[in-house]
Each structure stands twice: as structure tokens, then as C-alpha cells.
Copies of this chain bind each other. A is one copy, B any other.
Amino acid sequence: MSTLKAVSSKLAAEIDKELMGPSIGFTLQQLMELAGLSVAEAINREFPLKSAGEKKNVFILAGPGNNGGDGLVCARHLKLFGYNPIVYYPKRTEKVEFYKQLVNQLSFFKVPVLGPENNDNWLEYLKADKTVCIVDALFGFSFKPPLREPFATIIKEVCDLQDKVPVVTVDVPSGWDVDDGPVSEPHIIPKILVSLTVPKPCSQFLQKSSVHYVGGRFIAPEFARKYGFEPFEYQSCDQILKL
């Protein structure tokens, strides 16, 4: 069997299931903490804060599922790193108590979290001239089209802005097909992609000028090989690796 450079959406779901299954026993809270931290680390690597005067806003779009949860964790770490994160979290999944706790944690850090009540004015909070990057944490590898509102509109607005403010995508560009890449126009063109655990097939549709990281440093080498890919050679205690 040859070495794959990416795993399909189906395999990615199996990996997640096994990581959190009875034999390995990772919890969602652990994996999300490390995943969100790795995205924050990639942002810090690409857009280091040099002086107090420069722009330091990061605008985080958090979706209703685990990809959004990664974004909420990322926002908290960015605040600790000295950035000024602003989160837009338009659709909340009430059944997962932990998502509410992630929002509480952001309040503790005085990170603004916009909600559905801001559906008509959220863009006013995204000041392009002060914003280092937009974090696309709307949908991950389990996304299935079609895009529903308010997300279709949100993505369209991001597409209008992405020439001015770089987009950092968590795992899968929102609106893309996980396996087939961009399937509609306009679509998000990430400047930075942080693939979690292992890239998904759509990563091959990244532009050549884009930067691709893998993050979420929490699997054993044998586990990677079992799923048909070589383990990534992270350095030192980095939580990310540039591919």
C-alpha cells in the first residue's frame, strides 16, 4: 500500500471515532484544546506580534460543530498570546454543554462573542484595517452541502474580504467539499490552512502561494501508518508543522 498524503472524509471520521473510542480514550475536550492551540500557534508563526502599535485583531468565525469549538479554543489562546480576538458564533448547539463552557471561558478573558443577534451587523465588528486575519472555523470534515443561512451569506462576505484580509482555515475551507475541493462560486481561498491530524483530499486544491500546516499533535506513529499515512515530523515541542 502506498503512502497517502491525505485521508478521505470517511477515513477522517473513523480516525476521530477511534481516538475518542474506548481503546484510546481521548476526550473531545483534550483534542479540541490541542487542536485550537495548534491553530493559534500557526497564526502566531505567520503573523507574529512585533510592536504594540500594529494591528492585532483576529476575527474568528465559529460554526455550530467541532470545527467551531476548535475556533473558540483558538480564540482563547490568541488572547493569551497578546492578540485581540473577536468571535462571531451565530448558531450554537445547545445540546453540547462543553461549547457553552468554551464561551464562558472567552467571557473570562473578555473576548467579545457575537451571536445570532448580530446577524445583521457582525461585519461592522470586522475592521479590515485592524485585522491580522480571519479564522474560518465554520465547518470541518463532516460538512455536507448545501450551505444554509446564515452561513451562505457569511461565506460570501468573507469571499469579498479575502483579498484584503488573509483567511486562516481550520482543517477544511468552509463550503468546500472535503474530498473534491471548491464546488461553488465564490469560494473561500485560504492563505493559511491548518489541517488537523492529517490533511484531507481537498487540500490539494490550495493555491500554490498558500501556506499549509498540519496541527493537532496527538497521534502515535503506528496509528498514522494504520490509516495509511506517514507520521509527521514535528520539531521540538511545536504543535504545528509546515508542510
Which residues in A have some Cβ–Cβ distance to B below 8 Å?
Answer: 23-27, 29-30, 33-34, 37, 40-41, 44, 48, 77, 79-81, 98, 100-102, 104-105, 108-110, 217-218, 220, 222-223, 234, 236-237
Contact B237 A27 (CB under 8 A): no
- What is the count of identical protomers in the complex? 2
From B27, B102, B237, give the contact of A44 (CB < 8 A): B237
Contact B80 A217 (CB under 8 A): yes
Contact B81 A24 (CB under 8 A): no
Residue of B nearest to A41 (CB): B237
From B24, B77, B110, give the contact of A108 (CB < 8 A): B24
Q: How far is the CA of A47 from the CA of B221 in the complex (A)?
A: 23
Closest CB of chain B to A205's CB: distance in Å?
Answer: 29
Residue of B nearest to A77 (CB): B237
Contact A101 B26 (CB under 8 A): yes
Residue of B nearest to A73 (CB): B30
Residue of B nearest to A111 (CB): B220
Contact A104 B25 (CB under 8 A): yes
Q: How far is the CA of A173 from the CA of B117 in the complex (A)?
A: 50
Residue of B nearest to A24 (CB): B108
Q: How far is the CA of A27 from the CA of B77 in the complex (A)?
A: 16
